Amino acid sequence: RWTGNKILHNDLPWQMRSLFNNQLNMVDLNKLNTTHTNIPKIKEGRLSAQFWAAYVPCDTQYKDAVRQTLEQIDVIHRMCHEYPEVFKFAASSQDILDAFEQNKTASLIGVEGGHSIDSSLGTLRTMYQLGVRYLTITHSCNTPWADNWLVDTGSEPEMHGGLSEFGKQVIWEMNRIGMLIDLSHVSEKVMNQVLDISKAPIIFSHSSAYSVCNHKRNVPDDVLMRVKEKRGIVMVNFYNDYVTCSPTANISDVADHFDHIKKVAGSSIIGFGGDYDGVTRVPEGLGDVSKYPDLVAELLRRKWSEDEIRDALGRNLLRVFSEVEEVRDHLNGTKPDDIPIPLKEVQNPCRTDFGYQDKSSSTCIKSFYPLVLVLSLLNKLL
């Protein structure tokens, strides 16, 4: 069994919400058997580091997304506190290496969806202070400042032509504070705009190769080349629908994505994404997190060198993380961006407007709120 370091994307915290409403006292992660992830499976899979996803659904947007995201951040911290012999909380590239030395699973936080910051740079910075080290720019919904991947399918309207001006502020502020920019779930325009303006390398935390499976959640070849130029990383997703564009897949199909990305842009941009406990079906042979070594064995069978595999398992992401930290340190003297998103771009019935001086732009919108609410209720009744 392969013992190399593995740094992965995992949605177990959402399962804690879905199954137990975050009541960790009701759960024993040594015995939990209804999820892709538990402590015995982590040990069998030799998982050295996890980016635990602090994910909340798009339904929370404009409502309680920030509260629910904070609760997911809290449950990740509590997981580390509850199982200190297994998990070590990590907030830097050095913390990951320290956890490796202690033979513990480094536990990092990624917020999966830009709706979680409620269009607030102050909230972004606060989440960084709580240990969040990447933000997925969108989930499967547009935010008031960025378009998501569904725009490219035609099932959602394009709202911003990629990123709005405030969206660009978010990217620059993430560079300044040292937060990794995750482009899984965004539209292709957003991919390219971020690659244009970011001073730091970017990541795709759980996306695969579009040329192997032409799903819009995957990364096109021209973007793969740009990721290479930017010294970023694409962490391959195991969800069947993104692997084969069908409900079924196997371990060889996943390896095809690794091979293709390596062929197009080299092994230096490849990582293991997984997406366990965030998807409803996974490939045959990759049923849970204990099976990662079997995928490594498949890559070895395909003549990947040990160096290439070690890069994909962790060294590539550690390099990206370190370079993001270097950009942060270089920008250390730069003041925080405190220009808020324009009121007209976020005004809604669930959001107050304290601090904004010119409220006239939203007056006419407010007058329509009762009508909008009535129409929404009628739609539900019909």
Nearest to 205 by CA among 254, 272, 276: 272
Concerning whether 257 is annotated as a catalytic residue, the answer is no
Provide φ and ψ at 203, rounded to 5°.
-130, 155
DSSP characters for 342-364?
A: PGGGT--TT---TT-S--HHHHH
Pairing type for strands 203-204 and 7-10 reads: unpaired
Concerning whether 185 is annotated as a catalytic residue, the answer is yes
The span from the CA of 119 to the CA of 318, in Å, is 29
Concerning whether 139 is annotated as a catalytic residue, the answer is yes
Say how many residues make up the chain: 382
Catalytic residue among 36, 115, 160, 206: 206
Question: Can you tell me which residue has the tokens 């199954």?
Answer: 19
> Which residues neighbour 251 within 8 Å (Cβ) at sequence distance 6 or greater?
283, 284, 285, 286, 291, 294, 295, 298
Concerning whether 206 is annotated as a catalytic residue, the answer is yes
Catalytic residue among 95, 112, 277, 288: 112
Catalytic residue among 36, 95, 118, 139: 139
Catalytic residue among 9, 115, 257, 260: 9
Nearest to 180 by CA among 159, 208, 202: 202
The span from the CA of 204 to the CA of 273, in Å, is 8
Tokens at 74, concatenated: 């809290």
Concerning whether 77 is annotated as a catalytic residue, the answer is no
Catalytic residue among 147, 275, 298, 323: 275
Catalytic residue among 36, 115, 185, 260: 185
DSSP characters for 92-122?
A: SHHHHHHHHHTT-EEEEEEEE-GGGGTT-HH
SS3 175: helix
Catalytic residue among 11, 118, 288, 298: 11
Q: Which positions are catalytic?
A: 9, 11, 112, 139, 185, 206, 275
